[in-house]
Amino acid sequence: MIFIYIRNIHFHYVKILHLPTCFIWLCNHSFWAKKNCKPNFVVIFTDDQTFRAIGYNNSEVLTPNLDNLAKKGLIFNKAFTSTPVCAASRASVFTGLYPQTNGTVALDRNSFIKNIVNENKFNTMAEFLQDEGYTTYFSGKSHLGNPQDYGFRFGYESNSFNDEIAFKEMSNFIEKEDFGEQPFFIWLAPRQPHVPLKPAQQWLELYPFENISIEKNFLNTPEQESVFNQGLPGEHFYRDSDYTNNYKNLPAGPPRSTEVITEFTKAYYATITHLDFQIGYFINQLKESGHMENTVFIFLSDNGYLLGNHGLGNKLTMHEESVRIPMFIYWDQLKIDVHESEALVSSTDVLPTILNIAGLPIPEYLHGKSVLPILKDPSVSINDFIASESVGVGGKVGTGHRMIRSPEWKYIITDINDELLFNLSDDPYELNNLIDNDAYESILVKLKGYYQEWRDLVGDEKLIP
C-alpha cells in the first residue's frame, strides 16, 4: 500500500554463534523450505535526518510509508550514530567499528580507500555477505568512493539532490534481476534530506508555515562555548553559515530568526516527505515482486541535524539533534506484541545484527553488538552505554568532541576539554549542565568509567580530565 498525500492534513578471532531461533523457524517453515533460505536484507540509509524528523516521533512530519512499516516492526527510540560526520559514519556502519579504529574520521574518503579498499584492514558489510553468496547491490550516495571497490557486486553511485536516479536504478535492478534462490543485500543511500533543500511545491504545500513548531532549545545564534564549536579546537565556528543554495536561499547556519528557521524546517520536512513517498513505491515493488516476506528491512540515518537547536545548523556536535537518529527494523518473521524499544543502540550494531540474523559468524573484533535479542524481546538491553565521536574536524585527527550516553545521562567532553553532564530524562533539550553539581558526582564517575572503557576499545588518546 502506498499512502497518498493530501494537502492540509583482519579477522583476529571469530566467534561462532548458534543460529537464532527465529532463523531456524524460518528455514523449517514450509513456505521457505528451499535450498537456500537465508533472509534478504535491505538497508535504507538517509542523510542528515535527525530523530525528530520522522512521523512516529513527530506528528508534524508526514512519513506515512515509513511509519506504517516501523509500527509493524521494531522502533529503536534511543538509536545513535557512532559519529555525526557523513563519510566517517558510513565507514563506521560498513565496518562495525568506531572511526578512530577503522581510520576514517572525517569527510575525506581517501582514508577509507587506503585502509579498507587498498590495504584490506577490515572487511565491510557487503564483503561479508558477498562471500556468503549474497547478491550485493548499492544505489545512492557513497561518500566512500566506488561501491564496487568495497564489496558491492552491482551498484550505481548518484549524487542527485532529489534521489530520482538512485530510486530508478534500484527499481530497475529489482525488476530485471533474477535472484533465484540466491539471497540479496541491497544498500539504498538517499541523499535527502541533506542540503541544499529543494523540495517541489507539491511537498511544500503539505506544510503550512503556521503549523511548523520551533523547538524550545532554538537560538538565533549559539552561545560562545566550546560545546557548540563546529570548527577547530578553540574556535567559535559554525558550519554552513554562508550556505544559501536552499529553498528561498535560506542559510543553514546562524544567525537566523524564528521566521528563517521555520521556513528552513518546512523545506526540510517537505524533503523528507518526498523521500517517504519514493520509499513507499520501493516498498510496494518489493511486495509485488514477492521479496518483502523474507526480507529484513533496516532504516536509519548517517547522523542527525541541528535545525537551529542551540543556535546551530549542520551536525558535528554531541547534542541529541546531531547524534540521535531514527532507526527501525521490519521483518515479517518478527513475532512481537511491543513495537518500540528504549534500549540503547549504536550504528555500529548494524553489521553484527545482519551477520547474526543471516546465521553467520560475528568477528570478535567488532565494536557493535547484535540487536537480535531486542528483536525477540523489546524489553531487553544490550548496551550499558554507547559513545559517539566527532574527531576529524578540519582534517586533524583526534580533534573534536566525544560523548558517552547511558539510558538517562550524557557526558560530553569538548575539543578543549570542557565537560558537560545532562540528565536526558528531565532535560531532553540539554539546557541544564549539571557538571558542577556535587549531587551527581557518582553518576559522573560512572560515566567517566564508561569513557575510559571506550577509549581503550577504540584507541582514543584524549585523556580524561
Which pLDDT score is estimated for 242?
A: 53
Which is more confidently placed, 156 or 93? 93
User: Domain for residue 75, yes or no?
Assistant: yes
Span 41-46, average pLDDT: 98
pLDDT at 21 over 50: no
Question: In DSSP terms, which residues pair with 327 in a beta bridge?
Answer: 300
77 inside domain: yes
Find the CATH number of the domain harbouring 230: 3.40.720.10
Is residue 454 included in any domain, yes or no? no
Tally the domains of the chain: 1
Most confidently modeled of 19-28, 192-201, 392-401?
192-201
Domain that holds residue 259: 14-384
What is the pLDDT at residue 351?
98
CB 136 within 8 A of CB 407: no
Q: Please count the other Cβ atoms lying within 10 Å of the Cβ belonging to residue 171.
A: 15
Q: Is residue 389 part of a domain?
A: no
Q: What is the C-alpha to C-alpha distance for residues 60 and 53, in angstroms, rounded to an integer?
A: 9
In a domain? residue 325: yes
Residue 75, pLDDT above cutoff 60: yes
| 443 within some domain | no
Decide if 1 is inside a domain: no
Three-point CA angle 20, 287, 54, nearest 5°? 80
Residue 230 pLDDT exceeds 50? yes
Mean pLDDT is lowest, of 111-120, 140-149, 455-464, for: 455-464
Residue 40 falls within a domain, yes or no? yes
Q: pLDDT tens digits for 265-284? A: 999 999 999 999 999 999 99
Say if residues 272 and 264 touch (Cβ distance below 8 Å): no
With the CA atoms of 14, 17, 23 and 29 taken in that order, what torsion angle do they form, in degrees rounded to the nearest 10?
110
| φ, ψ for residue 295, nearest 5 deg | -120, 130
Q: pLDDT > 90: what percent of the chain? A: 76
pLDDT tops 80 at residue 130 = yes
SS3 340: strand
CA distance 447 to 327: 25
Q: In whole numbers, what is the pLDDT of the chain averaged over residues?
A: 89
What's the confidence (pLDDT) of residue 17?
Answer: 37
* 355: pLDDT strictly greater than 70: yes
| Residue position matching grid coordinates 533474477 | 178
- Count how many residues are written for the chain: 465
Predicted structure pTM score:
0.92
The predicted pLDDT at position 175 comes to 85
Round to whole Å and give the CA distance between 153 and 143.
17
